[in-house]
Amino acid sequence: MAYKLRWASRSAELRWGRLRWMALWAGAWLTGHAALAQALPPTVSAALARAQIPLDAVSLLVADAEGKTVPRLSHRPDVAMNPASTLKLVTTYAALDLLGPAYTWRTPVWLDGRLHDGVLKGNLVIQGQGDPKLVPERLWLLLQRVQGMGVRHIDGDIVLDHQAFAPPESGPADFDGEPLRPYNVAPDALLFNFKSVAMTFLPDPAAGVARVRYDVALAGVQLPASVPLTAGKNVACGDYRAALKADFADPARVLFAGSYAASCGEKTWPVAYIDPASYNARSLEALWRGMGGQLSGRVRDGTAPASPATFELVSPTLLEVVRDINKFSNNVMAQQVFFSLALPRQSVGDGAAWASAAPRQPITPDMAREVLRRWWQQRISPADALVIDNGSGLSRQSRISAQGLTRLLQVAYASANMPELMSSLPIVGVDGTLRRSRASPASAHLKTGSLRDVMALAGYVHAASGRRWCLVALVNHANALEARPALDALVQWAVSDNAAP
């Protein structure tokens, strides 16, 4: 009996000790007091000093992925800052949580007319419902299926319905004055090949030219097949894009007034098409005719029939899309997912739902923001502020704290979708946007973010001790792009955690 009493007393002490420890941790977490965490590592402080970045422009948090201990490092964790593309973690994890990793987008297609002897007397109608990856090979498969149903000649129009998403609120040059950058392409319910053209230059010294190949053809647009090689032997590659003296201002033609150095080898240059409103029509017409199809009418925007679709093109899974978004920081794909959060749930698995149901309001950014805001408050943290602009982080308005991002990472770590989210993140020194990191290779899965005056990292560090840390670093300063060595040093410090509590 005495033994049992002693054991009961000892158990009560242990329980009380755990409660006191949890209370201590919670207080540290909510207040962000640096006194309960280590000071900035000397290697990090020194790198920030070399970059001339003051400590009040930096927010850092390194915390246990399971939330079992006080943060290992905490510096201004509750300050809302611009996170750049680390905000994609919010959009992609919300999508995994709300839609599930196996979610797919449906693109319904109608043969809207009578088919006889290879001729469709009517229209071919394609309706967009937000597929983020309608790349050329998948559009080819869509049209191949049309031809497989016997259509060789469309005696009518090809009608494109992209009314599921509201028109863009801004132009491609509005963010940074760079309309030809593919990262500035706006979301579209029917987004063909990111409305971009990838040009590959292949030197042919025997002919004295570099051959130019294009990943898509555009009807009515002149695309030069070659450019001259730069005269002289052993010419350094340098800035090959500037040397080409390209002119993309005319939607009907691309011009190269310069030359290409043979020493550059093979290079690929992706460019957003200067007239995004006509991109879908030009690319689809060129593809259809290139496959031997005939078209009496034209490719135009319009409205899909209310009848059930003839067939549907099914997208890759959300899991595959999230991997592309996070590994390579694809902005327009992230915005496609962001808009899709507000699509009617009954459209899942029913590609004709948008057309066959009563007319609905097109999805706007405000609708998507409201879905994400409610999810954040209910699932992640009602206390931590979140300002969402377009879901991609390509914004000057977006704001989140290191504490909020860490909380998201911890919730995700405890969820069934943890493997999906973590595997989508770039691996330090191995792939994606972190392949050039100088931290220990394969030591962390981290999402990167960079804008003018912003540099950020957020994700999971696999420490030498076997522990797993959530790491978030946000830098908002004119010298932010010089913070890479400091962030590499922070990752390396988190990896080497043998002295951690």
Q: Each residue of 123-157: pLDDT tens digit?
A: 999 999 999 999 999 999 999 999 999 999 999 99
330 within 8 A of 191, measured Cβ to Cβ: no
How far is 355 from 426, CA to CA, in rounded Å? 38
Tens of pLDDT along the chain (501 residues) come to 443 334 344 444 434 344 343 333 434 443 433 343 458 999 999 999 999 999 999 999 999 999 998 999 999 999 999 999 999 999 999 999 999 999 999 999 999 999 999 999 999 999 999 999 999 999 999 999 999 999 999 999 999 999 999 998 888 999 999 999 999 999 999 999 999 999 999 999 999 999 999 999 999 999 999 999 999 878 999 999 999 999 999 999 999 999 999 999 999 999 999 999 999 999 999 999 999 999 999 999 999 999 999 999 999 999 999 999 999 999 999 999 999 999 986 444 443 334 434 347 899 999 999 999 999 999 999 988 899 999 999 999 999 999 999 999 999 999 999 999 999 999 999 999 999 998 999 999 999 999 999 999 999 999 999 999 999 999 999 999 999 999 999 999 999 986 444
Q: What is the CA radius of gyration of the chain?
A: 27
* H/E element, 494: helix 484-495
Paired tokens of 344: 């009617």
Whether the CB-CB separation of 38 and 490 falls below 8 Å is answered with no
87-97 CB burial, b ≥16 within 10 A, e <16 = bbbbbbbbbbb
The Cα–Cα gap between 167 and 196 comes to 18
Per DSSP (E only), the strands in 105-224 are: 106-116, 119-127, 153-154, 158-161, 196-204, 209-214
Q: Write out pLDDT tens, residues 388-444.
A: 999 999 999 999 999 999 999 999 999 999 999 999 999 999 999 999 998 999 999
In CATH terms, the fold of domain 27-99+364-495 is: Beta-lactamase (3.40.710)
What's the pTM? 0.89
How many C-alpha atoms does 392 have within 13 Å on its Cβ side?
Answer: 24
CA angle (58 as vertex; 410, 31 as ends), nearest 5 = 55
Give domain limits for the chain.
27-99+364-495, 105-315
- Answer for the pair 407, 393: CB distance below 8 angstroms, yes or no: no
> What are the DSSP calls for 36-101, one per residue?
GSBPPPHHHHHHHHHTT--GGGEEEEEEETT--S--SEEESTT--B--GGGGHHHHHHHHHHHH-T
Q: pLDDT per residue over 19-66, tens digit each? A: 343 333 434 443 433 343 458 999 999 999 999 999 999 999 999 999
What residues have CB less than 8 Å from 47, skipping those under 6 apart? 483, 485, 486, 488, 489
CB 160 within 8 A of CB 190: yes
pLDDT at 19: 36
Q: Report CA torsion sign: 261, 263, 265, 270.
A: negative
CA dihedral 319, 321, 325, 330 (to 10 degrees): 180
Q: What CATH number should be reported for the domain whose range is 105-315? A: 3.50.80.20
CA separation for the pair 44, 41 (Å, rounded): 5
The enclosing H or E element of 421 equals helix 418-424
pLDDT the model gives residue 365: 96
Give residue 14's pLDDT: 39
pLDDT at 498: 64
Contact (Cβ atoms closer than 8 angstroms) between residue 190 and residue 163: no
DSSP state of 346: G
